[in-house]
Structure 1
């Protein structure tokens, strides 16, 4: 390379570096609002809650450092263990049926059909409704003279105290939440099913595989990533449930629907034990992280091809 060529190449190199710096500055400026939002509304509250979990704080005075006392108290608190048990029942009861029903509905909706597009739009209506409005509607449905008991009356069965019976209340919440989230899961499964290669199913049909065998041997393995994605968002959403228990039952009767987020809220703002509530929030966060990591481990193990 001649001296002239070197001199001509050097400005181009500097210009390229300057352009990259300019692009980095523009990218940083565009990301700045999101970073500020993240810091103010997520990072700072998280750090504050983490600090308060090691203190005794009643919302009025100054936080008093108590170390691990709040976490030790949690081990001996029957209210915490009751709320953890209710949360587990609520999560399993609302996640598994919703996933099974959504998959059963998505399989026929994923096929070409004249009215399938309309049906997919209709089934999404509950998912886009505000959760507060949904809770109010279902409170009317579960009323003593509401539609749920009217249907039981037509079937010759007696009325049920859906929201005041300690054995029925949590299942009433489960039914409402399943109905609420079903449409979203159906749409996700439908998209996953429509992305599967048709050639695999054609080859299976030529080999004599029936619909049931093709579903369990081909569809489910290929749909693994989608299935586990739905499982992750369903579990995380269920373990953070607060609005249904707050609006429909108030955590009752006798703590039968007192899920962990509701117990945290009542501890923090009802009994003004913000430090203890923060410790429970840290435990709930740790549970969600562990469950998510376990499920993401399975996600890496296989997926849609």
Structure 2
């Protein structure tokens, strides 16, 4: 402080890097204006198509609107209180949680396994990569229809089992078998995307640590367990979050594959919300279900982020 006063009293110009520099303030203003100009179009799009719909949906969730009546009777938190007492909601939540856990675990295991295979020096590697990525670009409706035919009592799966003397069950009429089949369908649909994510992360790992581990006598399994898996933890965190969001937003596969049946065995939150809002015409209650789903996804993601850390490493 004394040095700054001495400089000012002596009539010298403050250095350009000092906080009082007019040039520094001018540069800061120019940077803020430039950033605002470039961010304005994106912010407008977000405001119109993201923020405003969320606020409007929040307002609808506090009403008993049927979707057509110009009057939206205000009920406050009545829809949320109704959710807490609705056994159908709790069944849907339990189904969604079980479905999400299965999808998360199998997505990580299958994605990493396929990535390790694709990272090996194989002939025709590009063909294999295309084959594994093919389900990602396949229509969800088409994939669900094909799987439904495959799991039909007279379909291909039961026909193959019959060749070994095994009587195949009616897969989509048992609530647990149907949920397991839906989980496998979802993992199969996204396996190529997860494999590409893991493959990208694998190819970015430094080879020097593997060479050092090899000189120390580490086996392939030890390298995988103590080097590869820990180094891939940030990507694993991303894959789990993606699988979690996919599970809680699931609708198209469920709608075509099982329509939420049998007896609510695959009635995930997305299906429950659609049926409430668009089939029963209770848009206020359906929007409340959507907001609870959003809160659950955000809550689980934040907890996982807190536990693993922002860089994906476990604390």
Residue number in structure 2 paired with 1:56 = 64
Separation (CA, whole Å) in 2 of partners of 1:243 and 1:133: 10
Q: Determine which structure has greater relative contact order: mean sequence separation of CA pairs < 8 Å that are 6+ residues apart, divided by chain length.
A: 1
Residue number in structure 2 paired with 1:244 = 253
Q: Does 2:301 correspond to 1:292?
A: yes
Q: 2:270 aligns with which of 261, 265, 272?
A: 261
CA gap of 1:156–1:214, structure 2 versus 1, over 3 A, is: same
Shift of 1:87: 0.4
Separation (CA, whole Å) in 1 of partners of 2:41 and 2:260: 38
Q: Secondary structure at the match of 2:265?
A: coil
Residue number in structure 2 paired with 1:178 = 187
CA gap of 1:91–1:191, structure 2 versus 1, over 3 A, is: same
The answer to whether the 8 Å contact 2:235/2:312 transfers is no
Q: 2:49 aligns with which of 41, 56, 79?
A: 41
The answer to whether the 8 Å contact 1:164/1:249 transfers is no
> 1:170-201 CA distances to partner (integer Å, 9 max, x unpaired)?
11111111111111111111111111111101
Q: 1:273 aligns with which of 268, 282, 305?
A: 282
Q: What is the RMSD of the two structures over their aligned residues, measured on CA atoms?
A: 2.5
Separation (CA, whole Å) in 1 of partners of 2:184 and 2:51: 34
Residue number in structure 2 paired with 1:116 = 125
Q: Does 2:129 correspond to 1:146?
A: no
Q: Does 2:135 correspond to 1:126?
A: yes
Deviation beyond 6 Å, 4+ runs, structure 1: 23-27
Q: Secondary structure at the match of 2:171?
A: coil
Shift of 1:258: 0.5
Residue number in structure 2 paired with 1:98 = 107
Separation (CA, whole Å) in 2 of partners of 1:68 and 1:258: 24
CA gap of 1:279–1:162, structure 2 versus 1, over 3 A, is: same
Separation (CA, whole Å) in 2 of partners of 1:111 and 1:154: 35
CA gap of 1:260–1:269, structure 2 versus 1, over 3 A, is: same
Matched length: 292
Q: TM-score, normalised by structure 1?
A: 0.87
Separation (CA, whole Å) in 2 of partners of 1:140 and 1:173: 13
Unaligned runs of 5+ in 2: 1-12, 14-21
Q: TM-score, normalised by structure 2?
A: 0.84
Residue number in structure 2 paired with 1:160 = 169
Residue number in structure 1 paired with 2:18 = none
